[in-house]
Amino acid sequence: MAVAATHVGGGIADHVHPEPQGFIRRYVFSIDHKIIGIQYLITGFIFLVLAGLLAEVIRTQLMNANGGFVSNNTYNEVYSIHGSAMVWLVVIPLMTGAFGNFVMPLQIGARDVAFPWLNMISFWMFPLAGLMLFSSFLMGAPVAGWTEYPPMSLQGEAGTSMWCAAIFLVGISSTLTGMNFMVTILKMRAPGMTLTRMPLFVWAQLATAPLSMVATTALAGALAALFMERQFGVPFFDPTKGGSPLLWQHMFWFYSHPAVYIMILPAFGMISEILPTFARKPIFGYKMIAFSSVTIALAGFMVWAHHMFTSGLAPFMQLPFMLLTFVIAVPTGVKIFSWITTLWGGKIHFTSAMLFAIGFVVLFALGGITGIFLASVPTDLHLHGTYFVVAHFHYVLVGGSLMGIFAGFYYWFPKISGRMMNETLGKWHFWLFVAGFNGTFLPMHWLGFEGMPRRVAVYDPQFQFWNRVESVSSYVMTIAILLFFVNILVSLRRGKKAGPNPWKARTLEWQIPSPPHYYNFKHVPTVYGLPYDFSEPLPYRGLDDELTDAPAPVPAGAH
């Protein structure tokens, strides 16, 4: 088959499949990375709405010091599913599954990912896992948070086992996607696209893929053990039977710390595409940004026990984990400084995508700074398990990852749909979201310091004032997200036609029609340089036919 393919650029990147016919093969069980990316996008947004509604249940309960909106037990179920869903069904699938799938192969000049069928299987595990996770509400959902520490999780109701199975399944999906992307990026780049000519979003996906592959397997092991202990009494974690509760914590965080980087590295990549495009100047310090992504990914494997400083590690073990965590501040700082310097001397166009990108840099920086407080053992002894931690990771995951997702969505929506988004609604979305976000999460820093523990359905009345500020702000955030979805629906129907390259961006995906054809490129292009030199001619050859009526490439085996 491959031999029969038409070779222009050469290699497996040039292999063309016949376009599938019929609705099911095209849009349901599709093997096209673009359709799969859109499937991830839609499914991820549905779970974002569901998990976001759960967040509003949390905030409504916390409006009053003595709760009263839902029962304590329901509250515990709600925040557990909120956290699990946001991590595994929203941020990770959107970062890798949605944007990785749609954008990455286009940016490297490939016709698809390396293993399209595997890609389809990976996708379909994800909504199934989501249904399983939410179905745990029917049988008594888990209550011990997204971390599900045993022995508490051994006491949980039947839904806790369903939680194990659901996360296991979505974990396999994530592992397979990581493998798929790694092979795709390493093997299927267009001729001439050396590693140091790759767009930074591709670098970010390349740094993320091994994290998904290696770390997620540790999680799978932990989940299998917890499931077996709960269902069959195999004593991994119960100390009264000879198990160790800390074993779970090590295995869980060996995954979940790298998972933090799975959730943020792709956003780093998006920001590194968006800032230069709208500042009309090259990204500042390309090599340092690419290199620091890889450094962060590697170092991310060696810091997991900083989540366990109060758990009972041998005291001397705290030292290397504390110091290695501090080290991550250096490459992170390099990125933030590079992004801000990219703004310097630009001709900045404040599109919605750009606003979210700049907002990302600032809010993520604050989340990084509070990370220092938690990485240092003496201050963590006070802050661990408090609302300060809740504030910190929401700055990273909402101010960081979710803002990145919004930025990426506004940026690539014209490519995905062929239409422009409404900029006025987009700006309302941005400002309401930023105001609501800071109102919700900023006060949590001092609430945590002053003694408010996390995961509580009721709390000391002295904290009620700020909790009310937070709850009201969270409703503002919800309105902002509502505007976002209204914007999507309106723009899909009435949005201005985008044309191939509305942002005058320089990466490969913008040099072909919006939305791209099934086969992506008529001829696989040849790459001569970095995509960030705005004053130079485009560094590609072989794209002349893309926007003309030249015939589509002939599928392999079609003749």
Q: CB nearer to other proteins: give 26 or 280.
A: 280
Contact 81, 134 (CB under 8 A): yes
Identify the three-state secondary structure at position 438.
helix
Closest approach, Cβ 549 to other proteins, in A, equals 23
Closest approach, Cβ 331 to other proteins, in A, equals 9
Contact 2, 556 (CB under 8 A): yes
Q: CB nearer to other proteins: give 367 or 542.
A: 367
Q: How many residues does the chain have?
A: 559
CA–CA distance, 96 with 267 (Å, rounded to integer): 10
Closest approach, Cβ 315 to other proteins, in A, equals 4
- Residue whose token pair is 């690419």: 290
Q: CB nearer to other proteins: give 346 or 500.
A: 346
Q: CB nearer to other proteins: give 145 or 258.
A: 145
The encoded tokens of residue 44 equal 């991820």
Contact 107, 199 (CB under 8 A): yes
Q: CB nearer to other proteins: give 21 or 66.
A: 66
Which positions ≥6 away from 85 have C-beta within 8 Å?
A: 47, 50, 51, 54, 130, 133, 134
Contact 150, 179 (CB under 8 A): no
Distance of CA 485 to the CA centre of its chain: 19
CA atoms within 13 A on the CB side of 433: 26
Which positions ≥6 away from 256 have C-beta within 8 Å?
A: 147, 219, 304, 307
Q: CB nearer to other proteins: give 285 or 525.
A: 285
Q: CB nearer to other proteins: give 76 or 440.
A: 76
Closest approach, Cβ 137 to other proteins, in A, equals 16
Closest approach, Cβ 294 to other proteins, in A, equals 15
Closest approach, Cβ 318 to other proteins, in A, equals 7
Q: CB nearer to other proteins: give 27 or 72.
A: 72
User: What is the distance in angstroms between the CA of the first residue and the CA of the last residue of the chain?
Assistant: 11
**What's the Rg (C-alpha) of the chain?**
23
Q: CB nearer to other proteins: give 137 or 534.
A: 534
Contact 309, 373 (CB under 8 A): no
The encoded tokens of residue 484 equal 């976002």
Contact 81, 137 (CB under 8 A): yes
Closest approach, Cβ 173 to other proteins, in A, equals 27
Q: CB nearer to other proteins: give 378 or 557.
A: 378
Closest approach, Cβ 271 to other proteins, in A, equals 12
Closest approach, Cβ 379 to other proteins, in A, equals 6
Measured torsion, CA atoms of residues 471, 80, 37, 283, in degrees rounded to the nearest 10: 60
Closest approach, Cβ 42 to other proteins, in A, equals 33
CA–CA distance, 12 with 31 (Å, rounded to integer): 16
CA–CA distance, 428 with 10 (Å, rounded to integer): 47
Q: CB nearer to other proteins: give 287 or 559.
A: 287
Closest approach, Cβ 321 to other proteins, in A, equals 12
CA atoms within 13 A on the CB side of 130: 26
Which positions ≥6 away from 519 have C-beta within 8 Å?
A: 16, 17, 19, 111, 552, 553
